[in-house]
A and B are shown apart, each in its own frame.
Chain A
Amino acid sequence: MATTPVQTKDRSAVRTLLRLWPYVRPVRARLFGAAFVAVLASCVGLVIPLVLKWVVDGPVAHRDPAGVWLGALYLLLLGLGEALLFGLRRWLVARPLAGVEAAMRGALYRRLQRLPVSFHDRWASGQLLSRGTTDLMLLRMFLAFPLTFLLVNSVTIVVGVIIMLAQDWTLGLVILGPAVPVMVTCVVFEKRYAAVARRAQDQVGDLTTLVEESVLGVRIIKGFGRHRSQARAFRELARTLRGTELRKASLLSTIWGVIVTLPEIAIGAALVLGTVQVADGELSAGTLVAFLSTALALRWPVESIGFLLAMSQEAATATERYFEVMDEEVEDPGVSGGRPSTDQRGIRFDAVSFRYPDAPAGSSPVLDRIDLHIRPGESMALVGATGSGKTTLTALVPRLHELTSGRITLDGQDISAMSRDRLRSLVAVAFEEPTLFSASVGENVLMGAPDTAGGPELERALAVAQADFAYALPQGTDTQVGEQGLSLSGGQRQRLALARAVVGRPRFLVLDDPLSALDVHTEAAVEAALRDVLAETTALIVAHRPSTVLLADRVALLSGGRITAVGTHHELLRTNAEYAHLMAGTEITEAGEDIEEADAR
């Protein structure tokens, strides 16, 4: 899992967060309503000390029992109102915000399913997952809490300050004193904290990578007795992370120290000054009580600004990470309804060149001007040395990768002039790495067939792939497999993947080394059954073994990014030294090299 590069480009957190608007828009009424309710609730909270003042200065001072009752009643009503408003705010946003989170997650998933395969080659699934889960939860929390409360607390502070100034402007000014230093600290802190927080997030990513690899590669680690050095590497990374987290804590503790101390000092100063004024008779005791309780009520809004900003900062990072994926270009669906551009039938590669989009500039292409024609109904084996690009070539037919130049036609129709959906309904593939999904065996196989397919098709496909073991599973073909179900052996998975490729009787079939994990007997049986399937389809089969090659009518040899020979197995064995070397293990002699470069057509 590669850590995604971090561009520490100067970006404004606000501008980043504004990108959330399209997702927030549908629930804007509720969200604004909730913010309004929160402001209201918070104002009610500020009014309560005023009522207290009124009770102390009025009925209490004048020994008026009826007034006291009235005051208590007001307090009760205000308290009731405050409680209900608090609840109303949460009720207003609960479902809509869960909805925003879900909508963003759904959009991410849809987008990821449609991004080019080369994107998925670059991005580890763990990095994508953390964007789809933790980052989105952070964003929901941001919308529910910091966004609202930055507004609410600002309003509360302003209103509270106005109330205090109205009661006694000198005391009010004293209270306002620390505002500027606190704000400066917040701004400085925000910048540094953001940098350290992102560093911590990335280090968590590195640690996750190490964990993931240690789990996936546990057989190798155990097989070489390397678990101690692996644990050391882990310990080192974990220690680095701890260091970063402590750095975060030290920034946080500084801001808290400042944010707690300064306002408190101001309140102390106001208390001393107020006491003098009360003693001088310029101020009533009730006013001082009300004033101080207002000041104390403002303590939380002021203190919270620090962590609200930190949370907003983290939400901005999460937004950035989310849109890193959402900004990627999706695969276009392809033009539909293109007409046959030639009358050539079968699969035809026409000067096809390919290099990976992220390959270093100037490197030679993986595939270089490939010309190859597979006639209708014909099976063509593709043979080449390890790493010669056979798998890459097969991925081009269903357009999992885009050609760099040249074109591929299926029955004369350019695949780039076809909708991808239609193209992939024409071509069925069995991959080298057989992946099964968390579904039943039957569902996994029938994925390759039209929706109308059912039992008979499944039976036939399982028979072709010699996958009778499926019936012997605990619940037969209804047995769950994949990550959430029964784990099958490599050979069993490979046979099911093969069954999936042939179940829909595709016009075009691409098989990437489909029999590598099978034992000799099973392989022979599968080959026998496959012959019938291959007779009625046009197929491209990657092969390492003579036995697989013999399934095909002809063989193409891929070498140095080009098709260097085409012919039957026996022809090539005789005439092509490289082919003989690959298939029979004979040594290449100086003179025998590259003789008989057959016409690729």
Chain B
Amino acid sequence: MTAPTTTAPDRKQPAGDAPGTGDPFDRDILPTPPGATLALLRSLLAPMKARVAVTTLLLLLQQAAVQAGPLLVAYAIDSAVPAFRRADHGPLIAVGAGYLLCALASGGLQYAFILASARVNQDVLLDLRGRIFRHAQALSIDFHERYTSGRLISRSTTDVESLRELLDEGLQELVTVVLSFVYISALLLWLDLGLGAVAVASFVPLYLLVRLYQRRAVEVYRKRSTAIAAVIVKFVETMNGIRPVRAFRREAVNDADFGALNARHERTNGDALLEMARYVVGSRLVANTAVALIVLWGAHRVADGSLELGVLAAAVLYLRRLYDPIDRLGMFLNSYQSAAASLEKIAGLLAQKPTVPEPATPRPLPPLASEHPGREVVFDGVRFAYRTGGEVLPRFDLTLPAGQTVAVVGSTGAGKSTLAKLLARFYDPSEGRVLLDGVDLRDLDVPELRRGVVMVTQEAFLFSGTIAENIAIGRPDASREDVERAAKAIGAHEFISGLPDGYDTDVRKRGGRISAGQRQLVAFARALLADPAVLILDEATSSLDIPGERAVQRAMATVLNGRTAVVIAHRLSTVEIADRVLVMEHGRIVEDGTPAELVAGTGRFADLHRAWRDSLA
């Protein structure tokens, strides 16, 4: 939030009050194509047109029933009273029956309306939640690397929530307000053209007031939402980093920082509440003045006989109702304001195109050539650069024969991980093709691709659920025996058996503390179970101790024997089992050969190997 401003090259971006770099990712303002927000709303509502219509009809009828009351009062005073005096009980019975009917209808219709609208709302939300979720999952890894997890989470939680509020309360409010305005104005005009006209004329100042409020509220609400976002970021950061916070005694400094952010939110929050107060005073003033004027004029006309007393009574009853919902209009504007902002952010997210799309007409992998499960990998004229520029891998060709274990070494930033991500199709090459047994990875559908290539990364994330479930992510239809066999092969069985509930231990519950090294073992077991033709290990042993690493290597030599494997590691111990070593530097493969050849040579690998040997001595 206090990021120093740098030159933002793209001046078209709306000026946010959070200064930052020009990158829309950094500033959490993905470009939303014009009209995308409305298009999103339309596409959400389109499939339930019929039900929206029914719901609206229910509300129309309900309002009709509710608004019939004063009409019956007028009829009772002007017609039923004289009729009753003539001993004609018909009109009075009609009034009673009519009122009873209206009461039952307004209650029953209200019941039906709430149910029907809840169904529509919940289906819209279900649809939207699903869309965000599926879209976020479909977006490529490079998107996830730039869009922080916190933002993605808030898109699918708080932003959906604000739409929910609008749908749940806001829209019904708005429809009720508009409907009762229309109904009551029509009734008033029908009762008496003059009185009705005055009432309708009072809408002009009310409209101006609403516009004024809306303009000011946008500003205030935007500031408030920025302020609360800052509070949330600070809060989450502190809680997620509680260990360093404690160890470095940041509590007092944090209290002060958080206090300042909290106070800013308090101030803008107060501003927003005061803005609402001003609106309420203004709208009430207009409404009450209009009532006084109409009564004044109506009373004069009753006095000179040009208006029936009953009509004036009904008009006055309606007038009170006419202005009742103005406060609620203000509240609707609030929820509309925040929902619109949220929808815009969601639309911006949904407008992002996956850079690694699934093929329209997938091709299958050819049958395996031999009894070995490995497949041949070919990088054919591949070049990779970020879309923002910056070449990571200059054009290169590389063939990894089926069944070969290839180690890739090199310093940080040499392009090892990019190579692995291209092979796992987390990225697509900017130029050229990556072929698996002659088939372009872009032509494989997801299940086929993952039977072909699986990658184990350094960050071994565990999902909520049991250890067994976490391993079974590799192959959901695996039996318990399969899971245990995979765990045993990788040397994870021992620690898992020692957990309170063994394989059924919930990783997030009591007693389920699992160290970084143990998490990596679980990740391996997962990959082993997936049984892919090509296995990529990207720094996958960094937290393992040497015996753990040995167990993994043994497993690779036995269980994974015959598979094609690409191993990226800082540790040279992993390299010993490789058939071939690639040394990378600045995106290029500078050395390529068997470990023995390279060690015997005079290149970078020989240096590295010597340094590593020394460290073991």
Contacts and interface: CB of A to CB of B under 8 A. Distances in A.
Contacts of B49: none
Contacts of B39: none
B453 to A, nearest CB: 9
Interface stretch (B140-148, B193-201, B428-436): B140-148
B242 interface: yes
A500 B461 contact: no
Contacts of A221: 137
Given A500-B248, A544-B546, A68 B99 contact: no
A135 interface: no
B231 A71 contact: no
Interface string B86-122: 0000001001100110111011101111110011001
A125 B240 contact: yes
A346 interface: no
B134 to A, nearest CB: 5
Contacts of A219: 141, 144, 426, 455, 457, 459, 461
A585 to B, nearest CB: 5
Given A83-B285, A268-B103, A519-B411, 15 more contacts: A59-B303, A79-B289, A91-B274, A125-B236, A125-B240, A256-B110, A268-B72, A271-B95, A359-B511, A400-B243, A427-B247, A429-B247, A500-B244, A500-B248, A545-B615
A97 interface: yes
A447 B257 CA distance: 14
A72 B251 CA distance: 63
A285 B263 contact: no
A435 B246 CA distance: 12
A360 B500 contact: yes
Nearest to B134: A231
Summarize A's interface: helix, strand, loop or mixed: helix
Nearest to A261: B107
Interface in A89-142: 90-91, 93-95, 97-99, 101-102, 105-106, 109-110, 112-114, 117, 120-121, 125-126, 128-129, 132-134
Contacts of B136: 214-215, 218
Contacts of B137: 214, 218, 221-222, 227, 230-231
A206 to B, nearest CB: 9
A246 B247 contact: no
Contacts of B134: 227, 231
Contact of B449 (A60, A91, A225): A225
Contact of B546 (A86, A487, A584): A584
A69 B297 CA distance: 9
B385 interface: no
A82 B510 CA distance: 58
B454 A585 contact: no
B contact residues, range? 35 or more
A482 B156 CA distance: 22
A218 B247 contact: no
Contacts of B77: 275, 278, 285, 288-289
Contact of A238 (B126, B138, B446): B126
B247 A428 contact: yes
Contact of A65 (B95, B112, B300, B572): B300
B247 A87 contact: no
B171 interface: no
A332 to B, nearest CB: 14
Nearest to B6: A474
Contact of B106 (A83, A246, A261): A261
B300 A80 contact: no
B503 to A, nearest CB: 16
Contacts of B102: 264, 268
Given A117-B246, A385-B545, A478 B4 contact: yes
Nearest to B417: A489
A292 interface: yes
Contact of A261 (B104, B149, B265, B321): B104
A151 interface: no
A601 interface: no
A386 interface: yes
A492 B411 CA distance: 12
A82 B284 contact: yes
B254 interface: yes
A87 B277 contact: yes
Interface string A259-301: 0111011011101101110110000010011001100110010
Nearest to A73: B292
Nearest to B299: A68
Contacts of A98: 266-267, 269-270, 273
B543 interface: yes
Contact of B303 (A68, A208, A264): A68
Contact of B461 (A82, A112, A220): A220
Contacts of A581: 546-547
Contacts of B518: 386-387
Given A400-B247, A428-B247, A296 B320 contact: yes
Interface string B309-347: 110110011001100100000000000000000000000
A197 interface: no
A125 B236 CA distance: 6
B130 interface: yes
B348 interface: no
24 contacts: A56-B312, A71-B299, A94-B277, A125-B239, A128-B235, A129-B235, A238-B129, A245-B122, A246-B122, A256-B107, A268-B103, A271-B99, A358-B510, A424-B248, A429-B243, A475-B4, A500-B244, A524-B611, A545-B546, A546-B615, A550-B615, A582-B547, A585-B550, A585-B573
B561 interface: no
A425 interface: yes
Contacts of B238: 109, 112-113
A76 B69 contact: no
Contacts of B92: 272, 275-276
Given A228-B446, A271-B76, A250 B615 contact: no
B24 interface: no
Contacts of B123: 242
A222 B545 contact: no
Contact of A387 (B245, B250, B517): B517
Contacts of B110: 253, 256-257, 260
Contact of A90 (B280, B474, B543): B280
B278 interface: yes
A258 B110 CA distance: 10
Interface string B146-162: 00111011001100010
